[in-house]
């Protein structure tokens, strides 16, 4: 009996201790009937979390505190436990407190045998903190993915064996591949076949050593072309230092590398240019040390005997002397390279350079400035040997002085000759025309006073004398006009053609009475000398009327049109025309292609046209055929246009 009491005491003690443990645990513990589902036991932790007393909970079932479950779904869920197919059923759900607030829980449900009675035992863990941690983790992962998709690089995560498990969106955008194609070891498909073995070897070494991976290589894009990427990957370690993942990025450096390649090639080309340029080039740092001098600079300065001397600005100043072209010796601080180092920009500074230990002396032209590249400041000085040019300029100045003197003498001679010619023309006009007037006057008196006494042949002789006198008078007048045309002052201005031609035609009113005249001249403005243009047009119109007088219907056309920067004026007739074989003669003085008896004239008119157009910078030419009329062209620049070199003055087009 005593023995039984001791065992009972031990059992009760153990139950008390177990009950105390259950009451102190942080897990929620529930015992409830399998049939009615009513709670038999709920520990203090559960009562505290739910906000219900034990008396209230004895009237409740798990369905009251779990809004996600109903009896049908609960019975179906627990069938496996009751059938012995599972020992424990673990699931996550929510509990609702007395104040209707919800909190997440993880439930471990099993069948519990007690006093030959089976009940459900639910050990429940409040997972609010875990859910918050998971939510924070998901938020962190979302931020990470957003950040990874926002950065300009291609980004990826690799497993500890080096296989890839994740890529950002830019990776897929660039490669055009799907996750199924590149996850794992699919990234190798994007590498250049020749480069891939080197990449794999270096990646394998980095994974094995657990060290950062850093390498440049090309990757194929969605368009099939390759671009160079700088790839870097860092191992991610846990709290114990074990590598759990690798995070890597691919930065597009294709343009940068291409620019570097172009820069290197440009530098090589520039080096070749500098080595072969005829100008000397000297480069100096801010300390005054010469860091580069090209072969031309060495050759220009006659460095013979100075091969072993370390040349800097100071040493250079002990060997050479610089002076202005007037002979003023420059102090050292005014030397070109020192001026550049002081911030000046030099352009074509001409100085005499003399080597003080020899008789060597040259004249150089210096230019230069400071250039800042890669954070370094360098002074660049170029020089040209202009000694020969200066000698030539000096000789040219002497020749110019002599030429100017000769020109002055020649001009004085020409002025004197011009004055003599002017006096001669006056003499011709006075001394030749006076006898002609006498001959004409006396022959007229003979015809009038002795008309009846003279026979027909005598009267004919006197009439021939008078005609010859008139012809000679016209010839003298034309010669004087031609001479004055050469000497007269040119006055070029803008001439409006329409009114100009109208005024000119008024002088031919009587001659044009029987002529079918067509004038098509718009309001073009030409750059011309009005008097010279009047002489040219007057002679052409006079010739058109004269050489078409035997046509059944006389026709004369005057037309003007624009051609580029020029105005083309044409005077056309339907007269006798001329043979183009003799074209070169028609603009020469005294040249005639037809008999004077049929077409009177002095042979000077077209020569005056040519001279007038020549002085105005214009052109004149003609087109004709014998018996088919003739057309003469005058070409003059339009007002307001730049003068352009034109073909030969009288070349036919």
Q: In this structure, what CATH number is given to the domain that contains residue 342?
A: 3.30.450.20
Same domain, 220 and 86: no
Domain with residue 582: its CATH number is 3.30.565.10
- Identify whether the C-beta of residue 535 lies closer than 8 Å to the C-beta of residue 485: yes
> What was the pLDDT predicted at 137?
67
Whether residues 289 and 343 fall in one domain: yes
For residue 645, being part of any structural domain is answered with no
> pLDDT of 498-509, one tens digit each?
888 888 888 888
- Mean pLDDT of the residues in the chain: 80
Residue 174 lies in a domain: yes
| 377 and 331 belong to one structural domain | yes
Q: State the average pLDDT over residues 145-157.
A: 78
Average pLDDT over residues 81-96: 91
Under the phi-then-psi rule, with left for phi > 0, alpha for psi from -120 to 50, and beta for the rest, what region is 629? left
C-alpha distances in Å from residue 32, one per residue of 16, 59, 65, 67, 68: 20, 11, 13, 17, 18
| Distance set, CA 30 to CA 33, 66, 75, 555, 649 (Å) | 10, 13, 17, 133, 124
Q: Are strands 280-285 and 376-385 parallel, antiparallel or unpaired?
A: antiparallel
- Please tell me the predicted confidence (pLDDT) of residue 41: 92
Same-domain status, 499 and 455 = no
Please, which pLDDT band fits residue 434 given cuts at 50, 70 and 90? Answer: low
Residue 405 pLDDT class (50, 70, 90 cuts): confident
Both structure tokens of 176: 């055009």
> What confidence tier does 413 reach under pLDDT thresholds 50, 70, 90?
confident
Task: Give the pLDDT of residue 646.
Answer: 47
Q: Which of 546-560 are b and which e, b meaning 16 or more Cβ less than 10 Å from the residue's Cβ?
A: bbbeeeeebbbbbbb
Q: Do 452 and 513 fall into the same domain? A: no
What is the pLDDT at residue 558?
92
Identify whether 643 is part of a domain. no
**The domain containing residue 435 runs over which residues?**
391-470
Find where tokens 């910078």 sit: 617
The whole-number average pLDDT for the span 85-108 is: 92
Between residues 418 and 348, the one the model is more confident about: 348
Pick from 385, 404, 435: which residue ends a domain? 385
Instruction: Give Cβ neighbours of residue 250 (< 8 Å, ≥ 6 apart).
Output: 153, 154, 155, 156, 171, 219, 229, 230, 231
Q: Which of 94-98, 455-459, 611-615 has the lowest mean pLDDT?
A: 455-459
Q: Are 99 and 136 found together in one domain? A: no
Domain assignment present for 543 = yes
* Segment 265-324, tens digit of pLDDT: 877 887 787 777 778 888 888 877 777 778 887 787 776 655 545 566 667 777 888 889
Rounded to an integer, the average pLDDT of 580-593 is 71
What is the pLDDT confidence band of residue 108, given thresholds at 50, 70 and 90?
Answer: very high
Give the range among 159-168, 387-396, 434-443, 560-569 with minimum mean pLDDT. 434-443
Residue 647 lies in a domain: no
Rounded CA-CA distance 148/142 in Å is 10
Task: State the total domains in the chain.
Answer: 5
Q: Domain boundary at 110, 126, 142, which?
A: 126
Taking each helix axis from N to C terminus, what angle separates 530-547 and 456-487, rounded to the nearest 10 degrees? 150
Percent of the chain with pLDDT over 90: 20
In order, the DSSP letters of 39-107 are: EEEE-HHHHHHHT--HHHHTT--HHHH-TT--HHHHHHHHHHHHTTS-S-EEEEEEEE-TTS-EEEEEE
How many Å from the N-terminal Cα to the C-terminal Cα in the chain?
A: 154
Q: Output the pLDDT for position 54.
A: 92
Lowest mean pLDDT among 112-116, 129-133, 191-195, 333-337: 112-116
Reported as a pLDDT band with limits 50, 70 and 90, residue 404 is: confident
- Token output for 415: 């002025």
* Whether the predicted pLDDT of 11 surpasses 60: no
The whole-number pLDDT of residue 308 equals 45
Same domain, 363 and 395: no
Q: What are the backbone angles phi and psi of residue 232, rounded to the nearest 5°?
A: -135, 140
In this predicted structure, the answer to whether residue 353 has a pLDDT above a threshold of 70 is yes
- Other C-beta atoms closer than 10 Å to the C-beta of 544 total 26
Say whether both 114 and 245 belong to one domain: no
Residue 529 and residue 574 in one domain:
yes
Q: In what order do the strands lie in the sheet with 39-42?
A: 39-42, 28-33, 117-126, 102-114, 89-96
Same domain membership, residue 631 and residue 495: yes
Residue 114's H or E segment, with its range, is strand 102-114
**What average pLDDT does the segment 452-459 reach?**
75
User: Domain for residue 266, yes or no?
Assistant: no
Ranking 113-117, 167-171, 592-596 by mean pLDDT, the lowest is: 592-596
Assigned domain for 481 exists = no
- Distance of alpha carbon 22 from alpha carbon 310, whole angstroms: 95
pLDDT in the model for residue 470: 61
With the C-alpha atoms ordered 576, 475, 620, 647, is the resulting torsion angle positive or negative? positive
Q: Of 111, 126, 141, which residue sits at a domain end?
A: 126
| Whether residues 520 and 380 fall in one domain | no
Query: Does the pLDDT at position 443 exceed 80?
Result: no
In a domain, 642, yes or no: no
Q: How confident is the model at residue 585 (pLDDT cuts 50, 70, 90)?
A: confident
CA atoms within a 13 Å half-sphere pointing along the CA-CB vector of 339: 14
More confident residue, 146 or 540: 540
Residue 103 has pLDDT above 80, yes or no: yes
pLDDT of residue 259: 86
**Are 364 and 355 in contact, with CB atoms under 8 Å apart?**
no
Average pLDDT over residues 214-231: 92
Q: Are the beta carbons of 282 and 187 closer than 8 angstroms? A: no
265, 267, 269, 271: CA torsion to nearest 10: -150
Residue 626 and residue 515 share a domain: yes
Q: 198-211: per-residue pLDDT in tens?
A: 998 998 898 888 88
Weakest-pLDDT range from 79-83, 244-248, 310-314 = 310-314
């Amino acid at each position: 009996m005593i023995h039984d009491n001791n065992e009972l005491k031990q059992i009760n003690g153990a139950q008390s201790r177990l009950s105390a443990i259950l009451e102190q645990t942080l897990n929620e513990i529930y015992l409830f009937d399998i049939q009615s589902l009513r709670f038999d036991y709920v520990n203090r932790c559960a009562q505290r979390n739910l906000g219900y007393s034990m008396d209230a909970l004895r009237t409740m079932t798990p369905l009251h505190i779990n809004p996600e479950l109903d009896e049908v779904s609960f019975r179906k869920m627990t069938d496996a436990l009751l059938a012995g197919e599972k020992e424990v059923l673990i699931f996550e759900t929510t509990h609702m407190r007395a104040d209707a607030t919800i909190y997440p829980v993880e439930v471990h449900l099993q069948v519990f045998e007690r006093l030959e009675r089976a009940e459900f035992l639910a050990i429940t863990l409040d997972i609010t903190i875990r859910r918050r941690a998971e939510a924070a983790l998901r938020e962190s992962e979302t931020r990470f993915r957003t950040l990874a998709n926002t950065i300009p690089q291609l980004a990826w995560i690799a497993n500890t064996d080096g296989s890839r498990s994740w890529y950002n969106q830019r990776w897929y955008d660039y490669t055009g591949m799907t996750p199924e194609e590149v996850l794992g070891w699919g990234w190798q498909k994007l590498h250049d076949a020749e480069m891939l073995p080197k990449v794999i070897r270096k990646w394998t070494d980095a994974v094995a050593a657990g060290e950062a991976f850093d390498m440049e290589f090309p990757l194929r894009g969605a368009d099939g072309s390759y671009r160079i990427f700088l790839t870097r990957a860092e191992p991610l370690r846990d709290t114990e230092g074990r590598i759990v993942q690798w995070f890597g990025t691919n930065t597009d450096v294709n343009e940068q590398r291409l620019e570097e390649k172009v820069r290197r090639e440009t530098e090589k080309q520039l080096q070749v240019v500098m080595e072969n340029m005829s100008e000397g080039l000297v480069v100096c740092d801010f300390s005054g040390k010469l860091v580069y001098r090209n072969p031309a600079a060495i050759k220009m300065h006659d460095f013979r005997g100075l091969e072993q001397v370390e040349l800097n600005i100071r040493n250079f100043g002990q060997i050479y002397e610089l002076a202005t072209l007037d002979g003023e010796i420059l102090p050292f601080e005014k030397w070109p390279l020192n001026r550049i180092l002081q911030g000046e920009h030099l352009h074509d500074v001409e100085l005499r350079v003399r080597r003080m230990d020899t008789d060597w002396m040259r004249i150089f032209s210096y230019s230069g400035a400071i250039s800042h590249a890669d954070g370094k400041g360098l002074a660049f000085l170029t020089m040209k040997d202009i000694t020969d040019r200066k000698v030539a300029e000096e000789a040219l100045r002497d020749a110019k002085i002599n030429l100017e003197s000769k020109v002055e003498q020649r001009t004085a001679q020409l002025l004197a000759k011009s004055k003599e010619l002017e006096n001669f023309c006056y003499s011709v006009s006075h001394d030749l025309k006076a006898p002609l007037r006498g001959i004409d006057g006396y022959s007229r008196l003979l015809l009038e006073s002795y008309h009846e006494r003279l026979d027909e042949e005598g009267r004919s002789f006197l009439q021939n004398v008078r005609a010859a006198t008139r012809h000679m008078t016209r010839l003298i007048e034309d010669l004087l006009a031609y001479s004055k045309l050469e000497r007269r002052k040119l006055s070029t201005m803008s001439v409006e053609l329409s009114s100009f031609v109208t005024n000119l035609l008024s002088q031919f009113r009587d001659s044009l009475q029987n002529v079918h005249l067509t004038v098509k001249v718009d309001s073009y403005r030409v750059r011309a000398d009005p008097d010279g243009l009047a002489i040219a047009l007057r002679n052409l119109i006079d010739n058109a009327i004269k050489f078409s007088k035997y046509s059944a219907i006389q026709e004369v056309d005057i037309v003007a049109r624009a051609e580029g920067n020029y105005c083309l004026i044409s005077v056309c007739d339907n007269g006798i025309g001329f043979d183009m074989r003799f074209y070169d003669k028609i603009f020469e003085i005294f040249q005639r292609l037809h008999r004077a008896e049929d077409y009177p004239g002095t042979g000077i008119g077209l020569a005056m046209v040519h001279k007038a157009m020549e002085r105005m910078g214009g052109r004149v030419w003609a087109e004709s055929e014998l018996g088919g009329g003739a057309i003469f062209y005058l070409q003059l620049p339009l007002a307001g246009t730049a003068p352009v070199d034109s073909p030969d003055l009288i070349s036919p087009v």
